[in-house]
Amino acid sequence: MYPFILASASTRGEHFANFTVHPWQWGLFIGFIAVLIVADLLLVHRTAHEITFKEAAVESAIWITIGVAFTGVVFWWHGSQAAGEYISGYLIEKSLSIDNVFVWAVIFSYFSVPKKYQFRTLFWGIFGALVLRAIFIFAGVALINTFAWTLAIFGVILLYSAWKIAFHDDGEVHPEKNPVLRVVRKVIPSSTEYDGQKLFTLENGKRLATPLLAVLIMVETTDVVFAVDSIPAILAVSHEQFIVFSSNAFAILGLRSLYFLLNGMQDRFRYLNLGLGVILAFVGFKMLASYFLELHPPTWLSLVVILGILTVTMVASLVADRHDTGDHDDVEQDTAPSL
């Protein structure tokens, strides 16, 4: 049985890009990510201020351009198969992260976080997310390479997540029920007052945690929950650790600006959860078919399916929103008093 498992895992690995990334190459990539993060924090957002829609749109465009352009680097480095896996993983993570953005809005609203302090909180949230996701990614790839049957487990997880996202309201967030937050508040003395962008403050000579620490904890714990969906989904299109991590990193780096761009627009994307559910179901079935039937759809097909689902979802949502807006305007005109 064990030789079969090892042989099966090896055979499946041949359908994905596989290459060696030397330590200095990892160091170069992580250094590049660090430069982007530091430049964003110290140059672009040095002082606390409320992010405007225009500013968020420009920054989102820049982050998306960087993420998509890295496809060319991967293509130059390791060819079309690796590039296709990277951009597929990037699109999966980017699309699934939109739901995460709307959950952030609920958290910030619950804690009444001033808008000018939200960016710095998300900065530390994204930084923590990169570290946590790296751990999940390396562990997930190691499991798949060692035990092929983990593909089936991940596939089932994705099918369950697809049903949950498509037919349930994931916008419900109850910070007071978060077990991690409860423990932290018991262990760390906390204040109810904000002190600028600080996570800790001094009150009567005592060091206390500000509400921003609670917000940061909520952001991190919700990201862990979303990673349970997104990491297995990306592992359905690539088993190469560098591709999975880099596509994940570039996708979540731009989430801060995307949050300020999409905040308040959740109602306009009414079919988003359904579309995300279909995407997760697709990659879930892809994983199960890969394990049980040894069917391996080409990477370009996965890319086309994901793009198609996202396009149909967004267009249908915007058309429905415009239709409802038009009906609302007609009702207002019909009920307006005549002069």
C-alpha angle with apex 98: 80 to 317, nearest 5 degrees? 100
Determine the pLDDT at residue 169. 53
Determine the pLDDT at residue 325. 66
Q: List, in sequence order, every residue forming a beta bridge with 208; answer none if it has no partner.
A: 201
Min mean pLDDT across 25-29, 108-112, 138-142, 262-266 is at 262-266
Sign of CA dihedral 251, 253, 255, 260: negative
Determine the pLDDT at residue 70. 96
Residues 62-120 pLDDT 10s: 999 999 999 999 999 999 999 999 999 999 888 888 777 878 887 888 888 888 888 88
At residue 334 the predicted structure's pLDDT band, cuts being 50, 70 and 90, is: low
Determine the pLDDT at residue 2. 34
Of these ranges, 13-17, 141-145, 209-213, the one predicted with the greatest mean pLDDT is 209-213
**Whole-number mean pLDDT of the chain?**
80
Residues 235-260 pLDDT 10s: 888 889 999 999 999 998 888 888 88
Determine the pLDDT at residue 7. 33
Residues 6+ apart with CB under 8 A from 126: 37, 252, 253, 255, 256
Helix locations, the chain, DSSP H: 2-13, 23-39, 53-110, 115-146, 150-167, 179-187, 211-235, 241-253, 255-262, 272-288, 299-335
Mean pLDDT score, 217-234: 80
Residue 11 pLDDT greater than 60, yes or no = no
Phi, psi of 104 (to 5 degrees): -60, -40
Determine the pLDDT at residue 1. 35
Determine the pLDDT at residue 4. 33
Q: What is the Cα gyration radius of the chain?
A: 22
Residues 168-178 pLDDT 10s: 654 455 666 66
